[in-house]
A and B are shown apart, each in its own frame.
Chain A
Amino acid sequence: MSVDVEEPRAESQPARAVWPWLVIGAAVVLSAALFLGGLFRPHVFNGTVIQSNDIAPPMTGLVYDDGEPVDLEALRGNVALVYFGYTHCPDLCPAMLSTVSRTLGELGEMGERVATMMVTVDPARDGQDYVGEYVRFFNPRFRGVWGTEDQVRLVSTKYGVHFQYDEPDEDGNYPVAHTASLMAIDPDGVLRVVYPVGVTVEELTADMRALLR
């Protein structure tokens, strides 16, 4: 004695039709989440990020090569790249200035919002005019910054930049040992990132885009 029991197949049919849509829906939600997450993920800078929100130390007493006093507040809305160097510098200064110049090229129009300056740490040999002429060899938009040794030292110390004059040779030539980092001041005037020697054009370009976003 056996009774044939019909399986309730009719009920399982709609479920089978719905599950592909569930998978697609889940995929869409996941992709959107990943996309938005990517948008809001903070940019990872290629230098040392300064965590405080302190305004960059003012360049008290220092002037651009054309004599205009350096006023960092006038650069708000732009990124200011500050480098402390000197013109009798064979290796590091040309390397960093070339890197920044090529970065401005990569940035195109956005590069117009990056103000680059080299403060001379050797004002006795670097005339105020010449420091400008020197940096403009690397990029016509660069500006030289000059002050007396005491004025430069007061400012540079606040940036954590040190310099000292090495022993002169028989001709009186001397190299200058200096902190050769590049500093980025963000559009709010905050000293934001410090770049080491060897930062690349690609790294700097990505960071400038992030700072100017």
Chain B
Amino acid sequence: MRARILTGLLLVATACTSSDGGVAVVEAWARPTAPEADVAAFYVDIRNDGPDEVLVGAQSDRCGAVALHDTVLEDGVMTMRHIEEVAIDGGSTLTMEPGGLHIMCVDLEESLVAGQHVDLVLLLGYAVRLEIAVSVEQR
């Protein structure tokens, strides 16, 4: 019985962790989405105090697909560019923000509502899965 509780606690601890080795999530947020809106953006700031890492993608059950995107000014128009990977060198912080780098969620199943926490898995390399919770906030 005690062993089962301990295992349970360990599982919870593993699921909640937002830090892996030298990598820690500083902030993770998303705006609430309009009714029927099928896209959303997640903004995650990642601090890396360990060896160099590469963010290669993300996954969420709330989205049909998730991709790294950068919003850039090109020929006078703001264009979203798909990004294959983003380096997070040791000793640096990766910052995402509106109008710049973001994690785009397409085919959003249900609206994001303020106060919710969305489970998101960050893929650091293809081997490391960092499970985080994205806070849905009106900003």
Task: With CB as the reference atom, state the residue of chain A lying closest to B111.
Answer: A137
Known A92-B99, A130-B36: A179·B77 in contact at CB below 8 Å: yes
Return the CB mask of B75-102 against A: 1 if under 8 Å, else 0.
0111110000000000000000011001
Whether B9 sits at the interface, judged by CB under 8 Å, is no
Closest residue of A by beta carbon distance from B43: A91
Shortest C-beta distance, A208 to chain B (Å), equals: 19
Alpha-carbon gap, A167 to B7, bound state (A): 48
The reply to whether A95 and B98 form a contact with Cβ atoms under 8 Å apart is yes
A177 touches B34 (CB 8 A): no
Residues of B contacting A198 in the complex (Cβ-Cβ under 8 angstroms): 98-99
In the complex the two chains form, what is the Cα distance from A133 to B34 in whole Å?
8
The reply on A60 being an interface residue by CB < 8 A is: no
Report the Cα distance A88→B33, complex, angstroms.
11
Interface residue tally of chain A, by bracket?
20 to 34
Looking at the complex, which of A22-30, A36-44, A48-56, A158-166 is the stretch in contact with chain B? A158-166
CA distance A3 to B77 in the complex (A): 94
Shortest beta-carbon distance, B100 to chain A, in Å?
A: 8
Task: Write out the residue numbers on chain A whose beta carbons fall within 8 Å of the beta carbon of B33.
Answer: 94
List the count of A-B residue pairs having beta carbons below 8 Å apart: 79
Report whether A94 and B79 are in contact in the complex, using a CB–CB cutoff of 8 Å.
no
Cα distance A101–B98 in the bound complex, in angstroms: 16
Closest to B42 in A: A90
**A138 touches B (CB below 8 Å):** yes
**Contacts of B31 on A, CB cut-off 8 Å?**
94-95, 98
Chain B residues within an 8 Å CB radius of A95: 31, 98-99
Q: Which of A89, A138, A162 contacts B76 (CB 8 A)?
A: A162
Nearest CB in chain A: distance from B110 CB, A: 14
Closest Cβ–Cβ distance, residue A48 to chain B (whole Å): 13
B133 within 8 A of A: no
- Cα–Cα distance between A88 and B106 once the two chains are bound (Å): 9
Give residues 115-148 of A contacting B (CB, 8 Å). 130, 133-134, 137-138
A91→B34 contact, CB < 8 A: no
CA A134 to CA B33, docked complex, whole Å: 9
Asked whether A179 lies within 8 Å of B106 as measured between CB atoms, the reply is no
Which of B34, B77, B107, B139 lies in contact with A134, CB distance below 8 A?
Answer: B34
What CA separation (Å) do A130 and B34 show in the bound complex?
Answer: 10
Residues of B within 8 A of A197 (CB): 71, 78, 98-99
Bitwise, A156-189 to B at CB < 8 A (1) or not (0) is 0000001110100001010101111000000000
User: Which residue of chain B has its CB nearest to the CB of A197?
Assistant: B99
* CB of B38 within 8 Å of the partner chain: yes
User: In the complex, what distance in Å separates the CA atom of A163 from the CA atom of B41?
Assistant: 21
Minimum CB–CB distance for A136 against chain B, Å: 9
Cβ contacts under 8 Å, A179 to chain B: 76-78
A87 at the interface (CB under 8 A from B): yes
Chain B residues close to A by CB (< 8 Å): 31, 33-41, 69, 71, 74, 76-80, 98-99, 102, 104-107, 138-139
A residues at B contact (CB < 8 Å): 87-92, 94-95, 98, 130, 133-134, 137-138, 162-164, 166, 171, 173, 175, 177-180, 197-198
For the complex with contacts A88-B37, A94-B41, A130-B36, 6 further pairs of A-B residues with Cβ separation under 8 Å are A90-B41, A91-B71, A94-B98, A134-B37, A175-B79, A180-B78
